[in-house]
A = this chain, B = another copy of it.
């Protein structure tokens, strides 16, 4: 199965399971409608894809991996709902659709976010996710650490504070991104090792892969920002330069940034080399990260 097929199949499986896990005959139908609106049929499902692929390295059962990926995706979706709120980024549209607080109202969006966040832990702790309670407790603990004050929530707080001033350094930007997006991303790759109760050496290999391609992704973003038109990218370009934000292009130059991104991808690929053929999709995913056009 190629990388593209795996990504597509994961996205379909995530939607099918979410649809099943969020039935509308709930005590408070409106909040479930808003949770479904904000989680079903959204995005590339990259995080569940990485959970599935990291689980595949250790022959973890498909259902365990999928449910873990769906729990993680609930956290990602809740963070988008809350980030879009008027008091945060104040966005009316996400992927061409009205954001949750526009489609419903602000109170419902706050509660739908809270509901998705809580539901993530309900899924992870459920015996259906893994027969071994040590694995379930470990999934919850790692997911909570990645999502919480010392992870995603902390990164979002720093990002909001940084936006209130100009001239962010590259170190600040990297630190914020490693919390805001890197922590959940790291979980998506370590999940396979947690589900398999694998050795520390496996955890370390997957963390290395996650760190390398996380950074490569950011550099690729900076390259796209200067090389693309707003039409190609589907969003405003060169925003960073206007905000006085340092970019990897400032640091390395355009060619240097390209070289650096490719080096990081090869380091990521090397980190999962030990898994042989089972890591093919992860290798392709790493190369996709720097070669994408949007």
Contact = CB atoms under 8 A, between A and B. Distances in A.
A87 B110 contact: yes
Interface string A143-158: 1110111100111111
A74 to B, nearest CB: 11
How many copies altogether?
Answer: 2
A126 B143 CA distance: 12
A179 interface: yes
Given A27-B158, A85-B110, A141 B153 contact: no
Given A114-B153, A122-B148, A137-B137, 13 more contacts: A28-B158, A31-B154, A82-B114, A88-B110, A111-B157, A115-B149, A121-B140, A124-B140, A125-B138, A125-B141, A125-B144, A126-B141, A133-B133
17 contacts: A26-B150, A27-B175, A28-B154, A82-B110, A82-B111, A82-B114, A87-B101, A87-B107, A88-B107, A114-B153, A115-B149, A117-B118, A118-B147, A119-B144, A122-B141, A124-B140, A125-B141
Contacts of A26: 149-150, 154
Main secondary structure of the interface of A (DSSP, over half): helix
B144 A122 contact: yes
